[in-house]
Copies of this chain bind each other. A is one copy, B any other.
């Protein structure tokens, strides 16, 4: 069977973690590497990953995360940050991300023009730079969860947080980085709630 499908068959939204079980460092490193290797639109990688391992910091952010027990019972919490300030069409970061491809100046300028056109025509009418970066962050989120599941490590993705409060607690500068999504990782405790999915016939069509 496809190894990612195997992982997804294991995965569910873990509601109860065993607070005694910690993810070994080598396994965590591989999960984090999956986040780093995730693709992003135009290769912008406009994200950061805050890996929370101390009990203190997890305790501290729990109130901003709807006081959910997964925050403190899990082994590690990864806060995925989006960095919208980096992706403006005239930003140094954007130029650097295109230039690293080893292209000549004309080719880089052609990319920059296409990038500017994309944002004007296909991003701005639909969402902010923050939301656009968040979409990319969700690619990394998925890979973190699947990579964890491939090692029988449980995860719980968390959108249930007070964004402003969480950013303040983590002492982030929202001009530079904003919370996109949170994911708790660890090992399940006891029986878990069943998983439900819509039937393929409702959501999949071939043409």
Give the interface of A toward B (CB within 8 A).
Answer: 1-9, 11, 13, 27, 30-39, 41-43, 45, 47-54, 57, 97, 100-101, 114, 118, 121-122, 126-128, 130-131, 134-136, 138-143, 145-147, 150-151, 157, 159-163, 170, 181, 193, 196-198, 200, 203-207
Give the copy number. 2
Write the nearest CB–CB distance from A52 to chain B, whole angstroms: 5
Q: A2-B151, A30-B2, A203-B48 are in contact. Are A130 and B126 (CB under 8 A)?
A: yes
Which residues of chain B have C-beta atoms less than 8 A from A4's C-beta? 3-4, 7, 34, 143, 146-147, 150
Which residues of chain B have C-beta atoms less than 8 A from A151's C-beta? 2
Q: A3-B4, A143-B8, A147-B4 are in contact. Are A122 and B207 (CB under 8 A)?
A: no
Contact indicator B143/A146 (Cβ below 8 Å): yes
- Counting chain B CB atoms within 10 Å of each CB, which of A50, A121, A150, A193 scores highest? A150
Which residues of chain B have C-beta atoms less than 8 A from A141's C-beta? 139, 142
Write the nearest CB–CB distance from A56 to chain B, whole angstroms: 9
